[in-house]
Amino acid sequence: MPEIVNFVNHGAAAITPAITERVLKLLPQWKLEFTQIYAPLFPHLVDQLELLADAVEDTLEGAYKDLPYSALAQAVFALIYAHKKVGIIPDSVLNLGRADDSSIVRAVLIQNEKAFAIYAAVQNRSWSGITVAP
């Protein structure tokens, strides 16, 4: 997974405040799209994306102020990546199309486990229900 972590960190380094503002405007639509993901091999992916989207939204709107900027930037990168239909593995590839999305989301959650666990607790969400599992 070190290659995925490097990919996430490199992508997150390019996230600017302007990008986060554009993503914030698109998040309501993306959250609806994420609920439609069918990925039985990655049963936690939708919940993980929802947590990241909520954390980004709450942070950028000022409702939550304790998420480190590095975690925010990585979450924004993961959301952008998951929204795109073409990635390392195109979403159209049967059974594996979301493997790259899941790996990227998990890399963000694993690297920032403490920060997102705290966010989940503040939101009364079960961190163990979200997990860092695929």
- The pLDDT, as a whole number, for residue 99 is 83
* CA 96/CA 61 separation, integer angstroms: 34
What confidence category does residue 130 fall into, taking pLDDT thresholds of 50, 70 and 90? confident
pLDDT at 52: 98
Tell me the C-alpha distance between 114 and 130, whole Å: 13
pLDDT digit string (tens) for 5-55?
999 999 999 999 999 999 999 999 999 999 998 888 889 999 999 999 999
pTM of the model: 0.91
Question: Dihedral, CA atoms, 85, 88, 4, 79, nearest 10 degrees?
Answer: -10
Task: Locate the domains of the chain by residue range.
Answer: 2-130
